[in-house]
Structure 1
Amino acid sequence: MYRPTRVPLPVLVAPAAASTALALRPVRGPFPAATAGWVASLPAQELPLHVGALVGAVTAHAWGRGQRRPSDLVGAGIAALTCAGLGTVLARHLAAGPALERALREGAGSRAGEPQEGAGSRAEGDDTATTTSSAPRHRTPWPTVLTRPWPLPPRGVRARRGMVYGPDPRANRFDLYTRADRAGDRRSFADAPAVRGVLVHVHGGHFRAGGPSRESRAMLFDHARRGWAAISATYTLSPTPEGGFPQHLVDVKRLIRWIRVEGPAHGIPAGAPIVVAGSSAGAHIAMMSALAAGDPRFQPGFTDVDTTLAGAVGLYGYYGRLGAATRDVSDPVRHPASAAPPVLVVHGTHDTYTPVTGARRLVRHLRAGSSNPVVYAELPGAQHGFDAVRSPRYLAVVEAVARFTDRYA
């Protein structure tokens, strides 16, 4: 009688063990190896509880079989070490909240300490929350973390996808999320509740890949639920970062023009404050948009439009030059910081794709020249791409961004 071959327990738990080890001690170089290590670490880095549950289930099943082998004992030991490592990863997640709290207090003094009257609050797991009362101290919504890690549009938020803001319907696309009066409301956007402000999120992807609503979804939905118009946009992609410059910056400025000119037809007041946020490459574009507001070089054909921002947010961003030929114009620190709006920069200490040194360099430049708040938080142990799922770490970031943006709505 045929009996299927038993896969040894060490083999079954090896992927989780490797992912956990790379989350704890990332590969720093060379760059291809560091990138591969980052990708391999993502399951343990972003979903430590889920990976731990899977390791525990596999180990319990193998250990509960009638006839144990020596490899089962070895596998159980690897599983135990993996779970211990995942506990360390989870502890780093929980350290994000205090780090962000300190940054909000230190970066802008009383203006970024305890929320002022009107600052937004909500429990991330409460899909019906639409209040704008003062935010309490962050508490992790564990049911959401465990059962709904992938953020879906919550009740009370309306989505309109595939909208176009420029001449290229492929490159100039965006998704718009706004709050509805009640779940299932299907009225026109002109009849929607008043919009407090506009949050634009620009995706990453090394300037050559990506699309709307793939990153920072929890942040977008949270802002929409609290009365903002939340926009997730793409831009002109190119084989190299420098090859697309300055068109990707022009695109985002053209989106700002759309908000000012076309936004009222979609319930967005013409004078609504605009905050541009970005992840990775998108953070570079967000900071350039903030530092080059009104620069005619990046507003061809619409130099008369006010592209001044109320704020800018950068998540695990790259903030250096895009190439040797454009080093004087594509590097954010080559632009004066005197006219910079309030800025929030959040970066992981273990980021191997865009090392934290670049974020520190930008923050030094901003603080040396800007009279506006510059809030900077380093998340202990965080890697690149920490805004994909509703982890304890990212939910703390979502709340911190809400407290930051609500000051300017």
Structure 2
Amino acid sequence: MSIFLWIPKVLACGLSPLAALSGFLGAALGLVNRDLRSMVLGLFGASVATRYVYKVTGPHHGFERAFGPDWEACIPPQVRQEMLSRRWSLRAFDPPRTPWIQDVHIATDPQDGDRLYADLWIPHEGVTPSGLVVLYLHGSGWHYGGKDMRTRRFFRHLTNQGHVIIDFAYRLAPRVDLYQMIFDVKRAISWMKNNAVNYGVDENKIVLMGGSAGAQLALLAAYTPNDPRFQPLDVQQDTSICGVVSYYGPTDLIELHRYFEAKFRRIPVRRSFLIKVPITRWEKRARRTGFLPPDGRFVTPIEILPNLIGDLPDRATDLYNLFSPINHVGAHCPPTLLLQGLHDFGGMVNQVRSLHEALFNAGVMSILVEFHNTEHGFDLIPPKWSPATQAATYDTERFLALLAYS
């Protein structure tokens, strides 16, 4: 099943440049040794890997369509110098070290007293502030993970261009539901606006960004500013933002659950001793490392949304529709960047395409970048040489610069 091949596929795509080099080397050795089989296999492997790199990192016209043919002129030359010069390079230099502040208290839920925290990434001295802040929401399946999840290199890269990053730890299921998660995001937006002066940012230049479930929350919060259904009573601040970036985020929860049911129904749940024991052991290790919250548990794909929303789509259609970003599209929506792998095991491809079309029809600036043969979570493993990661970073940094300087 595709979910069990996820990590090998992500690794294979990320390491494709090294696979291409190895293939060419094998072919050369085969030629020297007059080994036809080695030469043919080496050339075949190299050609497959090279084709992947070419397809993933090729140019697209999304920025021209959204921002006009002269969009690059809107980015100051000194800012462009700090950006990736091309969509992929084997010489992947590490960005400079950046100061960051861990576990900053952002807000407290007045109902249950839960304290919300974030890590703050601040541009180092000598970097000209852009005035823009990115509120980042990690991928989680709404049940797992937390802040500081394989994103340090990416954040260092963005802060080197003058942006402030808030790596926010929103609360997870089963402790909270989707209402409370989106409330947490609105609290983080409000906190940033109230503290903008302290960090040298413009309160009107907040961008939401997220991966997977975090992207769903980012899109939903971006498309529902000041909507009382998604605004906690303790937030009186305007919660509108200037842009949103989605890395492989679901946009239609009914469609997502249908896909999970069709693809993952055979994944075993803890009904037998042979299944229950390893899952229980994994849960203990995951809690120790912080990947699973103290009250969390392993859930299969078909359990994720019913656990989160409280019922199946047939009996809670209104709630599934309410929490689907695509149902909140309108002319009020901010510019949107959608980054999507075409081999996503979560089945987000058609959802993201539908969202892009809906935004376009509503007159909203939207850029959809699709990555050939690329999996869900492509930017996390391994981030340095991955063609898809570099290409996505190339697009993300230009999108942020346009929002900061246009």
Bin the TM-score by the shorter chain: 0.7 to 0.9
TM-superposed deviation, 1:313: 0.8
Does residue 1:289 correspond to 2:257, yes or no?
A: no
Distance 1:62 1:73, change over 3 A: closer
Distance 1:139 1:290, change over 3 A: closer
TM-superposed deviation, 1:74: 7.1
TM-superposed deviation, 1:221: 2.2
2:101 aligned residue: 160
Contact 2:104 2:119 in 1 (8 A): yes
Does residue 1:406 correspond to 2:341, yes or no?
A: no
Does residue 1:174 correspond to 2:118, yes or no?
A: yes
Distance 1:285 1:64, change over 3 A: same
1:373 aligned residue: 365
SS state of the match for residue 238, structure 2? coil
AA aligned opposite 1:261: N
Once the two structures are superposed, the pairs formed by residues 182-331 of structure 1 within 5 Å of their partners are 182=126, 194=129, 196-239=131-174, 244-265=177-198, 267-269=199-201, 271-321=203-253, 322=305, 324=313, 325=316, 326-331=319-324
2:283 aligned residue: none
Distance 1:55 1:401, change over 3 A: same
Greater displacement, 346-355 / 292-301 = 346-355
Unpaired stretches in structure 1, ≥5 consecutive residues: 1-32, 66-71, 126-136, 183-191
The share of aligned pairs that are identical, in percent, is: 23
Contact 1:293 1:307 in 2 (8 A): yes
Alignment partner for residue 86 of structure 2, among 138, 155, 160? 138
SS state of the match for residue 74, structure 2? coil
AA aligned opposite 2:12: A
AA aligned opposite 1:372: V
Contact 1:204 1:283 in 2 (8 A): yes
The separation in 2 between residues aligned to 1:78 and 1:397, in whole angstroms, is 31
CA-based RMSD of the aligned residues comes to 3.4
SS state of the match for residue 165, structure 1? strand
Contact 2:223 2:333 in 1 (8 A): yes
AA aligned opposite 1:88: R
Distance 1:139 1:353, change over 3 A: closer
Contact 2:207 2:242 in 1 (8 A): yes
Distance 1:237 1:226, change over 3 A: same
1:34 aligned residue: 2
Distance 1:90 1:172, change over 3 A: same
Distance 1:203 1:34, change over 3 A: same
TM, length-normalised to structure 2:
0.72
Alignment partner for residue 68 of structure 2, among 99, 104, 109? 109
2:265 aligned residue: none
Contact 1:221 1:230 in 2 (8 A): no
Contact 1:275 1:313 in 2 (8 A): yes
1:11 aligned residue: none
The separation in 2 between residues aligned to 1:212 and 1:345, in whole angstroms, is 21
Distance 1:155 1:170, change over 3 A: farther
The separation in 1 between residues aligned to 2:321 and 2:87, in whole angstroms, is 44
Provide the aligned length of Structure 1 versus Structure 2: 336
| CA offset digits 1:154-199 (Å, max 9, x no partner) | 33622112223122798733221111115xxxxxxxxx96451101
Distance 1:55 1:380, change over 3 A: closer
1:384 aligned residue: 376
AA aligned opposite 2:4: A
Alignment partner for residue 362 of structure 1, among 355, 359, 372? 355
Contact 1:108 1:375 in 2 (8 A): no
